[in-house]
Chain A
Amino acid sequence: MRSENELIELLNRDLNLLSVKKLRKQNISIRLENEELVSGLNYLKSHSYIHLATISCVDWIEDNQFELIYHLFSYEDKISLSVKTKINRQKSRFVTIKNLWGVAKYYERDIHDFFGIKFTGNDNMDELILENWNEIPPMRKDFKTRQYVDKKYDWRQYHGQE
């Protein structure tokens, strides 16, 4: 059982962290380089962070970057750890971690559905949640939701409406 500060000390010693932040009690986020992410996750998995809760993604359209966030949890430390990395928005390609956690292939398909990021090594990139989608992925910031809705669905007309 490590405390938050002990964990930060350990991570600073063994990993090449870009930044580390203690968000609140039992909640830490760290930032890694692209190339070091898989080895870093491997290291964390061998240090009791065996639970991959989910993978999430943020579209930083001004910085031209996608941010991938891997949410890990340790049943020994009782700490949830967010491992972040930023990738190029134009390239929108990253490596899979399905060899570390088998479930990751579904999370990666999910992210491919909504952000259009391809994961090298994960070949099955069929639609997981959307059906027959042929626009740009809907969670990207440059997807114009209102325009799309106006085009695809008909609004209900009420009496007396212009």
Chain B
Amino acid sequence: MILNIFGFLMMAFSAMALGLLFIGIARKVVARVQKRIGPPFYQPYLDVLKLFTKNSITHGFIFDFGAIMAFGGMITTLFFVPVGPFVLYGMNGTLLLVIYLMAVAYLGMAMATVGSGNPLASVGISRALTQMLGYELPFIVVLLTLIYSSNTSSIIGIVQAQQSGFMNWNLINIPIGTAVAFIALLGLMGKKPFDAPVAPSEIASGPVVEHGGKYLAFIMLQHAVSVVVKTALFVDLFLGGGNNIFIFIVKMLIVWLLAALIGSIFPRFKVEEGVLFYWRWPLIAALLQAVIIIF
């Protein structure tokens, strides 16, 4: 029991550290793409530490609760996603559970928004939830295809089905679906073509407009964990997972850097353009992939 709690805490803290490291590396890479030197790779750690040393102002109980719910929701999601050899829950149905749990973080943000009462935050969170409608539809179609083809809805089961070599990866088995899932992943992580919810120059960073000090630090940690969760989920589902933690982290880093590079060269979609984009080509491609796999 004690050991279990210790394991959970270790996993949560290492996910935060890893996520912040990933964000730092991505900032450096994006800076090099733009011919800048960029901040050092440990800059996100300093940012979070600094935010914890600042005073912070609360906007009432709902605001506090929303920030905790966003952070806790993302940590909970982490426990159901196998990261390399660390598997906490392996029962059937975890894949669907993870999809549901990811929405909890957004709902937490929405609660904090309601608590803060800032109109820009409302605009931001309504954009985020609208965009969720967009990317979830093709993503769910791909996941159902995946569940059908590997005959299980547990993530660890899908990972084990791909173990016997590169040719068994779902990247090879369902290539169109992988591409669609990657495009959905961009929206899921809020990377550049689909970052209308947090557009800093238009709606002043959207849902987090009233977050300062330790509240912003929690949101940054939540973002760091979400990076780990989402890239790990992608690696588990399509890139064969990994028994070795280092190989797994390298795979995650490749996925994350690919997303960061795509983000560094694209401008921003308007939110309705983003939704329409997802409902057009990715959805058609996902349905096509489903038809190919089923028949």
User: Is A–B contact present in the complex under a CB 8 A cutoff?
Assistant: no
List B residues at the A interface (Cβ < 8 Å). Answer: none
Interface residues of chain A, those whose CB is within 8 Å of chain B, are none
